[in-house]
Amino acid sequence: MTKYIFFIFLTVLLSGCFDKGDCLITATNLMQVKLLTKADRKENKVKFSSVTISGSNAILYKEVETATLYLPVNPGQGSTTFTLNYQSTTSTITVSYSQEAKVIAVDCGAFTYYNDLQLTDTTFPEGSIKLFNTQLLHDVTTQAYANNVEVYF
């Protein structure tokens, strides 16, 4: 018993020394949008001709077929509009969000976290788009993103 108490005491004591912190950065400005079938909520690959973003000239997903979109929100604005062109259709999604600066550690630097994600406007019919996680997060160990939005086709 004594050795366990000593071990616990030593662990608590040494835990105070590790103040450098690991550079496990979960911050991202990518919003994950999953595309699912309306009937049974299964993965639904859609062929996009392009995806454009307000505040940027970048064209994403040019002639790409995918069931998951990673859409970057604008760090310089509090809202971003995405225009999705697919199968001769154009749909838009506008999201708003708040930003929070956080120092991870001196060696890692500071990063922006995006919280309070909200769907403020969309041309998708009601019930065919749903917001899940309101934080934009990226797990560096599993390379997984938070499930932010689902769109049902």
Q: Does 98 bind other proteins (CB under 8 A)?
A: yes
How far, in Å, CA of 81 to CA of 94, rounded?
A: 4
DSSP 136: B
Q: Does 5 bind other proteins (CB under 8 A)?
A: no
CB of 13 to other proteins, least distance (A): 8
Q: Does 108 bind other proteins (CB under 8 A)?
A: yes
DSSP 27: B
**Contact map string, positions 67 to 96, toward other proteins, x by CB under 8 A:** -----x-xxx--------------------
DSSP string, 71-94: EEPPTTSSEEEEEEEETTEEEEEE
| Residue 71 and residue 31 in contact, taking contact as beta carbons nearer than 8 Å | yes
| Residue 6 and residue 14 in contact, taking contact as beta carbons nearer than 8 Å | no
Question: What part of residues 26-55 is at the interface with other proteins (CB under 8 A)?
Answer: 29, 53, 55
Q: Is 4 helix (H, G, I), strand (E, B) or coil?
A: helix
How far, in Å, CA of 130 to CA of 134, rounded?
A: 11
Q: Does 125 bind other proteins (CB under 8 A)?
A: no
**Of 31-39, 62-70, 104-112, 141-149, which segment contacts other proteins by CB under 8 A?**
104-112
Nearer to other proteins, 23 or 132 (CB): 23
Nearer to other proteins, 70 or 152 (CB): 70
How far, in Å, CA of 108 to CA of 10, rounded?
A: 28
Q: Does 19 bind other proteins (CB under 8 A)?
A: yes
Q: Applying CB under 8 A, which residues contact other proteins?
A: 2, 12-13, 15-17, 19, 21, 29, 53, 55-56, 58, 60, 72, 74-76, 98-103, 106-113
